[in-house]
Amino acid sequence: MTLEEFLTARRDAGRALLVPYVTGGVAPGWTDVVRAYADAGADAVEIGLPFSDPMLDGVTIQEASDRAIAGGTTVTRILAELAALDVEVPLFAMTYSNLVFQKSAAAFCAALRASGLRGLIVPDSPLEEVGELAGAAAAEGLDLALMAAPSSSPERLREIAARSRGFVYAVTRMGTTGEDGGISAEAARLGRDLTALTDRPVLFGFGVSDPARAAELARHADGVVVASALMRRLLDGAGPRELGEYVASIRRALDRPLDREPDEQYAPLPRHRRRPDRQDPVGPLPRG
Amino acid sequence: MTLEEFLTARRDAGRALLVPYVTGGVAPGWTDVVRAYADAGADAVEIGLPFSDPMLDGVTIQEASDRAIAGGTTVTRILAELAALDVEVPLFAMTYSNLVFQKSAAAFCAALRASGLRGLIVPDSPLEEVGELAGAAAAEGLDLALMAAPSSSPERLREIAARSRGFVYAVTRMGTTGEDGGISAEAARLGRDLTALTDRPVLFGFGVSDPARAAELARHADGVVVASALMRRLLDGAGPRELGEYVASIRRALDRPLDREPDEQYAPLPRHRRRPDRQDPVGPLPRG
Amino acid sequence: MSEHALMSDPGTTGRFGDYGGRYVPESLIPACHEIEAAFRDAWADPGFRDRLTTLLTVYAGRPTPLTPARRLSRELGITLLLKREDLTHTGSHKINNVVGQALLAQRMGRRRLLAETGAGQHGVATATAAALLGLEATVFMGERDIERQELNVLRMNVLGAEVVPVTSGSRTLKDACNEAMRHWVASVGDSYYCVGSVMGPHPYPWMVREFQRVIGEEARAQCAAELPAAVPDYVVACIGGGSNAAGTFAGFVGTTARLVGVEAHGGAAATSGRSGVLHGFRSLVLQDDDGQVREAHSIAAGLDYPGIGPEHAHLRDDGRARYATVTDDEVVSALVRLARTEGILAALESSHALAWVIRAAESGGIAPGSTVLLTLSGRGDKDIASIRELL
Amino acid sequence: MSEHALMSDPGTTGRFGDYGGRYVPESLIPACHEIEAAFRDAWADPGFRDRLTTLLTVYAGRPTPLTPARRLSRELGITLLLKREDLTHTGSHKINNVVGQALLAQRMGRRRLLAETGAGQHGVATATAAALLGLEATVFMGERDIERQELNVLRMNVLGAEVVPVTSGSRTLKDACNEAMRHWVASVGDSYYCVGSVMGPHPYPWMVREFQRVIGEEARAQCAAELPAAVPDYVVACIGGGSNAAGTFAGFVGTTARLVGVEAHGGAAATSGRSGVLHGFRSLVLQDDDGQVREAHSIAAGLDYPGIGPEHAHLRDDGRARYATVTDDEVVSALVRLARTEGILAALESSHALAWVIRAAESGGIAPGSTVLLTLSGRGDKDIASIRELL
Ligand SMILES: Cc1ncc(COP(=O)(O)O)c(C=O)c1O
Ligand SMILES: Cc1ncc(COP(=O)(O)O)c(C=O)c1O
Q: What is the per-residue pLDDT across D153-178, written as a single tens digit (0 to 9) for each?
A: 999 999 999 999 999 888 889 999 99
What is the DSSP secondary structure assignment for residue C45, as one 8-state letter?
-
Residues of B near D (CB-CB distance < 8 A)? 51-59, 62, 66, 69, 74-76, 96-99, 101-102, 123-129, 146-153, 156, 160, 171, 174-176
The two most distant CA atoms of chain A are separated, in Å, by 52
> Residue B227: is its pLDDT beyond 80?
yes
Kindly state whether residue B194 falls inside one of the protein's structural domains.
yes
When pLDDT is averaged across residues C29-45 and rounded to a whole number, the result is: 97
Residue-wise pLDDT tens digits, C263-312:
999 989 999 999 999 999 999 999 999 999 998 989 998 898 999 999 99
Confidence class for position A280, pLDDT limits 50, 70, 90: very low
Q: Which of C60, C80, C358 is nearest to C223 (CA)?
A: C80
Number of neighbouring beta carbons within 10 Å of residue D109 = 9
Pocket test for ligand 1, best of C96, C124, C315, C349 (most atoms within 8 A of CB): C349
Cβ of residue D89 lying under 6 Å from some atom of ligand 2: no
CA distances from D131 to C148, C347, D38, D98 (A): 27, 17, 22, 12
* pLDDT score of B270: 53
Q: Would you say residue A277 has pLDDT above 60?
A: no
pLDDT digits (tens, 9 = 90+) for B163-205: 999 999 999 988 888 876 666 788 999 999 999 999 999 999 9
Render pLDDT for D19-58 as a digit per residue (tens, 0 to 9): 999 999 999 999 999 999 999 999 999 999 999 999 999 9
Q: For ligand 2, atom 4, which residue shows the shortest CA distance?
A: D349
Helices and strands (H, E) in chain D, number of each type: 15, 14
Q: Is the pLDDT of residue A53 over 90?
A: yes
Report the gap between the CA of C179 and the closest CA in chain A (Å): 8
Question: What percentage of chain D exceeds 70 in pLDDT?
Answer: 99
d(CA B124, CA D281): 10
D272 is catalytic: no
Contact A151 C188 (CB under 8 A): yes
Strands A91-94 and D112-117 come out as: unpaired
pLDDT attached to residue D212: 98
Asked if residues C281 and C294 have their Cβ atoms less than 8 Å apart, the reply is no
Which chains does chain C touch, 3 or more C-beta pairs < 8 A? A, D
Q: Place B259 in a pLDDT band, splitting at 50, 70 and 90.
A: low
d(C-alpha B179, C-alpha B57), whole Å: 11
Residue C85 has pLDDT above 50, yes or no: yes
**What average pLDDT does range C97-126 have in this prediction?**
97
Q: Which DSSP string do the residues of D6-38 spell out, in sequence order?
A: TTS--TTTTEETTEE-----GGGHHHHHHHHHH
Chains C and B touch (3+ CB pairs under 8 A): no
Residues of D in contact with B146 (CB under 8 A): 26
Cis? peptide before B20, omega within 30° of 0: no
- Give the range among C276-280, D1-5, D292-296 with minimum mean pLDDT: D1-5
Assign D4 a pLDDT band (cuts: 50, 70, 90). low
Contacting C residues, span 327-346, partner chain D, CB-CB under 8 Å: 335-336, 339-345
Tens-digit pLDDT profile for residues C363-382: 999 999 999 999 999 999 98
Residues B164, B197: Cα–Cα separation, whole Å: 12
For domain D61-92+213-388, which CATH number applies: 3.40.50.1980, 3.40.50.1100, 3.30.420.140, 1.10.8.590?
Answer: 3.40.50.1100
Domain that holds residue A250: 3-255
Dump pLDDT digits (tens) for C132-154.
999 999 999 999 999 888 889 99
Mean pLDDT, all residues of chain A: 90
Tell me the mean pLDDT in the region C204-229.
Answer: 98
What value does the mean pLDDT of chain C take?
96
- Could you report the per-residue pLDDT of D113-153, keeping only the tens digit for each? 999 998 899 999 999 999 999 999 999 999 999 988 888 99
Q: Show Cβ contacts of residue B87 under 8 Å, excluding neighbours closer than 6 positions.
A: B34, B35, B38, B45
Average pLDDT of the segment spanning A129-157: 97
If 0-12 CB within 10 Å is exposed, 13-18 middle and 19+ buried, where does residue A233 land? middle
List chain A residues with CB under 8 Å of C31.
Answer: 151
**Which amino acid does the sequence have at D287?**
Q
The domain made up of C15-55+94-204 has a fold known as Rossmann fold (3.40.50)
Asked, for residue A80, whether it belongs to a domain, the answer is yes
Residue A175 has pLDDT above 60, yes or no: yes
pLDDT of residue A257: 74
> Is residue A287 over pLDDT 80?
no
Among candidates A55, A102, A171 on the partner chain, residue whose Cβ is nearest the Cβ of C291: A102
Q: Which residues pair with C277 in a beta bridge?
A: C282
What pLDDT, on the 0 to 100 scale, is given for residue A182? 64
Interatomic CA distance for residues C175 and D233, integer angstroms: 51
Res D172: pLDDT: 87
Answer yes or no: is pLDDT of B280 > 90. no
Q: In this model, does residue A281 exceed pLDDT 70?
A: no
Contact C117, C145 (CB under 8 A): yes
D378 lines ligand 2 (CB under 6 A): yes
As a whole number, mean pLDDT of residues D85-92 equals: 98
Residue B281: per-residue pLDDT: 33
Q: Where are the alpha helices (DSSP H) in chain C?
A: 29-43, 46-54, 70-76, 94-107, 121-133, 143-148, 150-158, 173-187, 204-226, 243-252, 269-272, 310-318, 328-342, 348-363, 384-388
Whole-angstrom distance, CA of residue B45 vs CA of residue B117: 10
Element containing residue D237 per DSSP (H, E): strand D234-238
Per-residue pLDDT tens for C239-270? 999 999 999 999 999 999 999 999 999 989 99
Across the beta sheet with D274-278, the strand order is D15-16, D19-20, D281-285, D274-278
Confidence at residue B274, expressed as pLDDT on a 0 to 100 scale: 40
What CATH number did the domain enclosing B109 receive? 3.20.20.70
Share the mean pLDDT of chain D.
96
Identify the pLDDT of residue B182.
64
* Distance in angstroms (rounded) separating the CA atoms of residues A253 and A156: 32
Least confident of C59-68, C182-191, C217-226: C182-191
Q: Is the CB of residue C29 less than 8 Å away from at least one CB of chain A?
A: yes
Residue C169 has pLDDT above 90, yes or no: no
Say how many Å lie between the first and final Cα of chain D, rounded. 48
CA dihedral B181, B187, B188, B191 (to 10 degrees): -140
pLDDT at C238: 98
Residue A79 φ/ψ, nearest 5 degrees = -65, -35
Does the beta carbon of D241 sit less than 6 angstroms from any atom of ligand 2?
A: yes
What pLDDT does residue B278 have? Answer: 34
pLDDT per residue as tens digits for the range A65-111: 999 999 999 999 999 999 999 999 999 999 999 999 999 999 999 99
pLDDT at residue B275 above 50? no
CB A153 within 8 A of CB C37: no
Average pLDDT over residues B81-97: 97
pTM for the model stands at 0.94
Helical segments of D298-383, H only: 310-318, 328-342, 348-363
Partnered with residue B240 across adjacent β-strands are none
Cβ proximity of D198 and D215 under 8 Å:
no
Q: Which residue has the higher pLDDT, B186 or C115?
A: C115
CA angle D150, D153, D154 (to 5 degrees): 90
The beta-carbon neighbor of B171 closest among D27, D291, D292 is D27
Nearest-angstrom CA–CA distance, C82 and C376: 6
Q: Where are the domains of chain D?
A: 15-55+94-204, 61-92+213-388
**Cα–Cα distance between C116 and C137 in angstroms, integer?**
11
- C-alpha to C-alpha distances, D63 to A35, B4, C58, C128, D235, nearest whole angstrom: 73, 60, 11, 22, 18
The pLDDT value given to residue A241: 97
With a Cβ cut-off of 6 Å, ligand 1 is lined by C 92, 118-119, 121-122, 197, 238-245, 302-303, 347, 349-350, 377-378
Domains in chain B, number: 1
Q: Which residues of A touch C280 (CB under 8 A)?
A: 55, 124
User: Is chain A touching chain D, with at least 3 CB–CB pairs below 8 Å?
Assistant: no
Q: Is D298 noted as a catalytic residue in this protein?
A: no
- What is the reported pLDDT for A259? 53
- Residue of D360 and D385 predicted with greater confidence: D360
Q: How far is D271 from chain B (nearest CA, A)?
A: 18
Mutation for D interface: C55, C154, C391, most D CBs within 10 A: C154
Contact of C390 with C99, CB cutoff 8 Å: no
pLDDT at D287: 97
> What digits encode the pLDDT tens for the residues A239-261?
999 999 999 999 999 998 765 44
Q: What is the mean pLDDT of residues A22-46?
A: 97
Span D279-294, average pLDDT: 97
CA-nearest residue, atom 7 of ligand 1: C240
Q: Is D116 a catalytic residue?
A: yes
How many whole angstroms separate alpha carbon B129 and alpha carbon B147? Answer: 13
- Kindly tell me whether chain D and chain B come into contact, counting contact as 3+ Cβ pairs under 8 Å: yes
